[in-house]
Chains A and B, each alone.
Chain A
């Protein structure tokens, strides 16, 4: 069948797609780590209207996910939020006016990376990338890249439990463009 083409998320998704708690996959969990960073364009300017989605294995290695990322209160209709027990594996966070995002999650079991899907105004088709939480020798994706390119996928530890991961949509003359992925 003819596939439905992609179109940009545009600038006005902000009241529809982000949801309270979208960036905190493990509310109240003492073992949660913080992954944060900026999204930049080809002029090196921060992108204040990007939307990042994260998908990852659970701490036990499960890829089945769980419902309840956007859990609602059926009486009031308000967002009740994740129940803090089930690990849904899904996160969604928009960049702020500085182009910055912050994600809190639990390290995945069995795989060293978080899957990322990037949307933005001016991006006609989303982009996939990965946040590797540590350098991972033998990883089939990293091992096919030069050291400079691979480095764009590996988060930088800033202090215990806090990692930095920037997304560069385009080479800006100084900084390497992030590696983006296609799947077959």
Chain B
């Protein structure tokens, strides 16, 4: 039988009760998010302690890979997209707080109505001919990225009956090592759907979960133009130490 939100809420509470305190990343085995059931390994990860591992270095990107206007998702078509224009900015840092410089940041998101420009999205909300919802940029010398976009809408999904994803922007990030790779989602503050979403709630630790929620920053808002959000990203994983030069 199809689960209800009440069922999912109870499953989330049960998972919270046995979660390891202080754990940052979600457990890949998280039944309230139904698609995890057959897609998580049951064996433990094998720990690699080889200082020569290739994964301790990582891919590099440069000015040939990105165009300046890739970071403005509101200017990719002839007309203006519909919705609430926002800027999202922040810094990409390693665990020690050092900036990740000149590295690729990719984003994708639904439009203001909650619809992705993806053939698989069957949500009967309108597509926006002036909005695709994909962007990329390189971080600057301080590790900073900035995107101009439209605030995405919430959207339904079929995890359980009446399941709605809170508004979010998908982010893809590279560090100086392949081991620092991160794909995640940025959420907006004050959304009543946060508590009900099994993907966000899969991060059981509240402090870690707050890391996924951007701050509204009035000083970033531009008069008569856009609202500003600030979101810093801290990458996990061992960083390259032998190849600092030029990064």
Contacts and interface: CB of A to CB of B under 8 A. Distances in A.
Interface of A: 1-17, 41-43, 45, 47, 53, 55-57, 63-72, 74, 77, 88-90, 108, 111, 113, 115, 117, 119-128, 140-141, 144-145, 149, 169-171, 177-184
Contacts of A71: 64-65
A121 B38 CA distance: 11
B92 to A, nearest CB: 9
Contacts, number: 245
A77 B199 CA distance: 35
Interface of B: 24-28, 30, 33-43, 45-50, 52-67, 69, 93, 95-97, 106-108, 110, 116-118, 120-121, 132-134, 170, 172, 178-179, 181-185, 199-200, 202-203, 207-209, 211-212, 233-238, 243
Contacts of A122: 33-40
B168 to A, nearest CB: 8
- The dominant DSSP class at the A interface is loop
B205 to A, nearest CB: 8
Contact of B106 (A7, A16, A117): A16
A14 B41 contact: no
A53 B181 contact: yes
Contacts of A124: 25-28, 30, 33, 36, 40, 199, 202
Contact of B183 (A9, A12, A108, A144): A9
15 contacts: A3-B24, A3-B95, A4-B182, A4-B234, A8-B199, A13-B172, A63-B57, A67-B61, A72-B64, A111-B52, A122-B34, A122-B36, A124-B28, A177-B41, A183-B55
